[in-house]
Amino acid sequence: MDNPRLIGHIVSVQGFRVKVELLPETRSALRATVDGVQAAIAINAYLTFALGAGETVMGIITDLEARETFDPGSGDDLSLELMRPRRVASVQLLGTIEHNDDEPSFSPGISILPTLDTPAEIGSPDILRAVFEIPPRRNKPEGYEEKDFDCDLKIGFPTGQSRNVVRASYNDLFSRPLAIVGNTGSGKSFSVSSLIQKAMKALNGAREEPHVFILDINGEYAKAFPAAEPEQRLPDRIYLNGKEFALPLWFLNAEEICAWLSASEQTQEPVLKDWWAIAKGGNATAAASMGAFQNAMSALDQLLTELTKIKKKAAGSYCDAVTGHLAGSGIDTTAFTALFTGHRPANDYNTEVMNNQAAIAAAAEALRDAIRAKIVGGSGEAEAGARTADSPLPIARATLTDPSLINRAVSKEDTFRVDAHLTTLKLRLKTRLDDKRWRAFLNYEDAATKVETLSSWFSRLGLGANAGPKVSVLDLSMLSNEVLPYACAVIGRILLEARERLPAASRYKHPWVLVLEEAHNYARPARSDEDRGHRLARLTYERIAKEGRKFGLSLIIASQRPSEISQTIISQCANFISHRLQNPDDIDHFRRIIPMQARRLLDQVTILASGEAIVFGSAFHIPTRVQFDRPDPGPYSQTAAPYHEWRKEASAFPLSKVIEAWGA
């Protein structure tokens, strides 16, 4: 055979699928060439078709079949027509190889399709290297001309071709959402650990600061990313890199506090949002002064109401009430009281108000604005506008347990009218504060987990200084099912909002990646019976999936059940790593959202070995079946060996440790 790479020729072209009739002598799955033994006639083998002018089209074998056909003789009437096998390979075309300066490069586009009788050859090592080992280079910074803006991140090797290496674009893999799916035991957590370990190892010599945050809800990544000697894990706590961590309740914004207390939309939410804003301003204003401010606001409201009536005698009587409540508060009431100085006797108030109605209304509104600014603790207009119920401002635990605080969110006259509604709200608040399951939200004043400001919380993560591991593991495995979605929602929102507040020109610097382990537990599709905690978490991560790229925050979504993750989140993923899947619903769901060229390869997803995966997306040139490199060290995700353990066990089940960790 003159060309050892030649295995057949094209006999059918159907769009971007071609059929190759194999040469009679091409029977083995392997072929010896000048470059060594290579895969030839086998599923997932790569073939090339020369087009001329330095271009070559590449494809992957997806199907093999043999048919029988007649072999006519020399034309003699007495000759027999014999049957001979006709072997055909179906090939999915993947892209074009361009030979520029003797260095092949891959392009996913195909402008010219091969024609009938085009020879089919085994892909040469140079071509396979251009496809697997030289991935796309993405996200070149503006004005940067060097070639080191991206890194070719090695992730494993093509299944059955251990001499080759598969690399991915570092930038693309971690700048946009990545989905890693597969059944339990298929190698998801190993792939997550391997990817992140390799990514951080490539940064050797770089400044130490957090880049990756793992929401570890199974407590398995402490081994893969050791940072400190872990503490004994106790119920209802969050651990950051082995140390107990706090997620202060005052991180909750107005929507989250209403969801946390199940406030009714029409009657309780408005009051609760006002109370939350007042509570977050409590550090700048004493509680007693706050009550006086609320009473003054009530008097002003009544004054403005009386001004709209025909008889305005009662309106003037509120002047003394307002000025009395604001005495010593620092709020200037001179202009307001001057409108009532002409006739101070009660009988003359009517004339006074009638003649100054517009001026009184304007002065009252000005006082209301000044009181609001004091309530939220702002010393100036800009600061007051920034302090709202959504602001992460500290609230003392004693403030939360003050039953009279909620009453200050409504006028004195309205308190009795809405008291029935507020009673149930106060009861739910007390119940929540007494519920030990919410300890991680309420331990921010404890000595070991003290969080005095938002800045100190970020400092615990190692942000803002040259400190802290590059990978932060947030162990949420000890939280109850009710608490978990709230914790995940708040962490995700705080990280996103922190990046949103960066100057627009620097949003792309210091990017972060948030790993959602077992994401189907808190990023589910919307349902009619969806509880408030899961709704908050879903909306948070849908927003990050859609908008996080612009702010330098990306996601890695790891899950056993892709069909149980919000389709909005999955649809935003630019890259996919699919380990073994068995559930037909998951496979069908996944097949609908992946690129057309990867769908035939996905047929093999049910027979993948542990650690094997099908990878595709913008970080790779072509969809590929890959054996992932093992992480070192690996996570705590080892599958049990019952025979070995039951036969060799030297001690009893450690029940005492379980009881102690359970808090029982």
pLDDT at 286 over 60: no
User: Residue 496: which of 476, 474, 478, 512 has the closest Cα?
Assistant: 512
pLDDT value of residue 84: 66
Q: Which residues contact 184 (CB under 8 A, 6 or more apart)?
A: 560
Whether residue 79 contacts residue 64, with contact meaning beta carbons closer than 8 Å, is answered with: no
Q: How buried is 534 (Cβ within 10 angstroms: 0-12 exposed, 13-18 middle, 19+ buried)? A: buried
Region 303-316: mean pLDDT is: 61
Instruction: With cut-offs at 50, 70 and 90, classify the pLDDT of residue 288.
Output: very low
Region 135-144: mean pLDDT is: 87
Q: Sketch out the chain's domains with CATH numbers.
A: 6-132 (no CATH), 168-247+453-648 (3.40.50.300), 254-433 (no CATH)
Instruction: With cut-offs at 50, 70 and 90, classify the pLDDT of residue 475.
Output: very high
pLDDT value of residue 420: 66
Q: How many percent of the chain have pLDDT more than 90?
A: 39
Region 398-418: mean pLDDT is: 63
38-58, pLDDT tens digit by residue? 777 888 888 999 988 778 999
Can you tell me the distance from the alpha carbon of 376 to that of 148, in angstroms, rounded to the nearest whole number? 49
Whether residue 272 contacts residue 317, with contact meaning beta carbons closer than 8 Å, is answered with: no
567-618, pLDDT tens digit by residue? 999 989 999 999 999 988 888 877 777 767 667 788 888 999 989 999 988 9
Region 452-473: mean pLDDT is: 87
pLDDT at 428 over 70: yes
pLDDT at 141 over 60: yes
State the chain's mean pLDDT as an integer: 83
